[in-house]
């Protein structure tokens, strides 16, 4: 009895290593509603407290937090140059986003080169299952993070990154993405919409259909196998493991286009 208790204690107290997500089992057969792929989610909104043009003017005049010289030099890669199966749907360049206003001046997606190459390898894992990558957001200039923060009422600021620290998107090492069907081009339906701030967005959410959960888990498997880590409250957000080695950047997309 005592030995059994000791063995139990050893199991319970053993440190839990952060395991990479496993490959999910066989693809479930859709039972209902999955035929409406990509449709049916209303975009989540907050009420911006001030006009976007005013926010942009102020944010562009502000300075990001100072960065240590020891960090790596930026080497941002346009994700669309990697593979035609990487498609963009940059919601922040449209009014279809949680702020209801176009925050980006163009629809572009960049990541630091090692993260971009890891993303391409994740795509290679997904292609045999018939999926391509649909990118919603990648590198985000610091001034846009500042705009999010300034626009958001105090009570809802848990949803946005604090510009005093900057975000992993500002370092070119975070990506928001989903899957689309390579055969039809249709975005897949996940257990929640993108940028939906609700428990349905959690990676451990057990609702939705079996196929929706399987697709979420397949995306996580492919990304974590290539060095990304999912955000536990946003199934679409992945951080590249080396994010802390890159500085918070404030290069505008227009600056990058000229490089």
The site for Zn ion (CB under 5 A) is made up of 176, 237
- Please state the closest distance from residue 174 (CB atom) to Zn ion, in A: 5
Catalytic residue among 117, 124, 234, 254: 234
Q: Is 234 a catalytic residue?
A: yes
- Please state the closest distance from residue 237 (CB atom) to Zn ion, in A: 4
Strands 131-137 and 174-181: antiparallel
Q: Which is nearer to Zn ion, 220 or 237 (CB)?
A: 237
DSSP string of the chain? Answer: -HHHHHHHHHHHHS----PPPPPP-SPPPP-SSTTSTT--PPPP----SS-HHHHHHHHHHS-PPP--TTSPPP-EEEGGGT-TTEEE--GGGSS-STTSS--SSS---EEEHHHHHHHHHHHHHHGGGTEEEEEEE----HHHHHHHHHHS-GGGGGGS--TTT--TGGGT-EEEEEEEETTT-PBPP-SS-TT--SGGGSTT---S-HHHHHHHHHHHHHHHTTTEEEETTEEEEEEETTGGGS------HHHHHT-
- Please state the closest distance from residue 130 (CB atom) to Zn ion, in A: 25
Q: Which is nearer to Zn ion, 78 or 176 (CB)?
A: 176
- Please state the closest distance from residue 10 (CB atom) to Zn ion, in A: 38
SS3 75: coil
Q: Which is nearer to Zn ion, 55 or 201 (CB)?
A: 201
Distance of CA 140 to the CA centre of its chain: 11
Q: Which is nearer to Zn ion, 108 or 237 (CB)?
A: 237
- Please state the closest distance from residue 86 (CB atom) to Zn ion, in A: 17
Q: Which is nearer to Zn ion, 221 or 235 (CB)?
A: 235
State the catalytic residues: 234
């Amino acid at each position: 009895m005592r030995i059994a208790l000791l063995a139990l204690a050893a199991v319970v107290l053993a440190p839990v290593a952060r395991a990479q997500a496993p490959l999910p089992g066989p693809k479930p057969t859709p039972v209902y509603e999955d035929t409406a792929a990509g449709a049916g989610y209303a975009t989540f909104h907050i009420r911006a407290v001030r006009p976007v043009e005013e926010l942009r003017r102020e944010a562009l005049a502000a300075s990001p937090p100072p960065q240590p010289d020891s960090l790596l030099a930026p080497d941002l890669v346009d994700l669309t140059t990697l593979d035609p199966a990487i498609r963009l749907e940059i919601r922040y360049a449209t009014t279809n986003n949680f702020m209801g206003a176009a925050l980006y001046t163009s629809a572009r997606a960049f990541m630091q080169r090692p993260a971009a190459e890891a993303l391409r390898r994740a795509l290679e894992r997904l292609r045999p299952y018939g999926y391509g990558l649909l990118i919603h957001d990648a590198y985000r200039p610091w001034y846009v993070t500042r705009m999010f923060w300034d626009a958001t009422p105090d009570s809802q600021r848990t949803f946005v990154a604090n510009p005093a620290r900057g975000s992993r998107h500002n370092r070119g090492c975070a990506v928001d993405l989903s899957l689309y069907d390579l055969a039809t081009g249709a975005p897949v339906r996940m257990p929640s919409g993108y940028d939906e701030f609700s428990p349905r967005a959690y990676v451990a959410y057990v609702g939705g259909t079996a196929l929706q959960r399987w697709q979420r888990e397949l995306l996580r498997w492919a990304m974590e196998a290539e060095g990304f880590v999912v955000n536990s409250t946003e199934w679409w957000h992945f951080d590249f493991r080396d994010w802390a080695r890159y500085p918070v950047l404030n290069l505008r997309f227009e600056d990058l286009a000229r490089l």
